[in-house]
């Protein structure tokens, strides 16, 4: 029998501190460039909202809604666009904002799709990175926290649409 390890948790204050650090880094990197932030719905809505409020520069925001098949805990790489972005990205500096990179399949699909539309630059900002789960070769340029292979909820992340409103991130166990 295995002894239970402790539940993984990222407290509200720690998230806030890290999001501020990411914001300052992005602000420095994009000085004078008016980047376009594309939040991936629904998971990234809280992260994006907090991130941009720490950035003191001209920027624009749009949203892309996708659903990965395999709705529960595993994605398959088949991605359906539920809502496309509205702002044209040709020749724009684009930053994709995602809640978590797991296998990387969703992000790979989104990245290739957006690259085909000719942005001037394209970077990825992910709050969480489950590195050990990666199935395709893709990495975020800005990462909040590298996390273990546990199922996490809160701060935008859900399990069957529940828990998105938690101000902290916690591991879900049954």
Q: Which residue numbers are catalytic?
A: 102
**Binding flag, residue 43, ligand IMP (CB under 6 A):** yes
- Scanning 9-17, 56-64, 88-96, 97-105 for contacts with ligand IMP by CB under 6 A, the matching segment is 97-105
CA–CA dist 165, 158 (Å, integer)? 9
Determine which helix (DSSP H) or strand (DSSP E) holds 62, and give its type and residue range: strand 60-68
- Scanning 2-10, 27-35, 43-51, 131-139 for contacts with Mg ion by CB under 5 A, the matching segment is 43-51
Nearer to ligand IMP, 6 or 90 (CB): 6
Q: Is 75 exposed, middle or buried (0-12, 13-18, 19+ CB in 10 A)?
A: buried
Cβ neighbours of 66 (radius 10 Å):
20
CA–CA dist 46, 43 (Å, integer)? 8
**Binding flag, residue 99, ligand IMP (CB under 6 A):** yes
Q: Is 91 exposed, middle or buried (0-12, 13-18, 19+ CB in 10 A)?
A: exposed
Out of ligand IMP, Mg ion, none, which partner does residue 50 contact, by CB within 5 to 8 A per kind?
A: none
**Binding flag, residue 124, ligand IMP (CB under 6 A):** no
Tell me which residue has tokens 């994605």: 75
Kindly give the pairing relationship between strand 60-68 and strand 121-129. unpaired
Beta bridge partners of 121: 93
**Binding flag, residue 140, ligand IMP (CB under 6 A):** no
**Binding flag, residue 39, ligand IMP (CB under 6 A):** no
- Scanning 3-11, 20-28, 36-44, 117-125 for contacts with Mg ion by CB under 5 A, the matching segment is 36-44
Residue nearest to Mg ion (CB): 43
* Closest CA relative to residue 91, chosen from 115, 111, 110, 56: 115
Out of ligand IMP, Mg ion, none, which partner does residue 105 contact, by CB within 5 to 8 A per kind?
A: ligand IMP
Q: Of 43, 144, 154, 156, which one interacts with Mg ion (CB under 5 A)?
A: 43
Site of interaction with Mg ion (CB under 5 A): 43, 99
Site of interaction with ligand IMP (CB under 6 A): 43, 68, 75, 98-107, 151-153, 157
């Amino acid at each position: 029998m295995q002894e239970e390890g402790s539940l993984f948790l990222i407290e509200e204050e720690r998230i806030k501190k890290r999001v501020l650090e990411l914001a300052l880094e992005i602000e420095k990197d994009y000085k004078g460039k008016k980047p376009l932030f594309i939040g991936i719905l629904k998971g990234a809505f809280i992260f994006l909202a907090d991130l941009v409020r720490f950035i003191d520069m001209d920027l624009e925001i749009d949203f892309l809604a996708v659903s990965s098949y395999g709705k529960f805990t595993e994605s398959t790489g088949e991605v359906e666009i539920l809502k496309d972005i509205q702002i044209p990205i040709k020749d724009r500096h684009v930053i994709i904002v995602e809640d978590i990179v797991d296998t990387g399949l969703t992000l790979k699909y989104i990245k290739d799709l957006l690259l085909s539309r000719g942005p001037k630059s394209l970077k990825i900002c992910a709050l969480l990175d489950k590195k050990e789960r990666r199935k395709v070769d893709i990495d975020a340029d800005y990462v909040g926290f590298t996390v273990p292979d546990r199922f996490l909820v809160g701060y935008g992340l859900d399990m069957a649409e529940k828990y998105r409103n938690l101000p902290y991130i916690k591991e879900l166990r049954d």
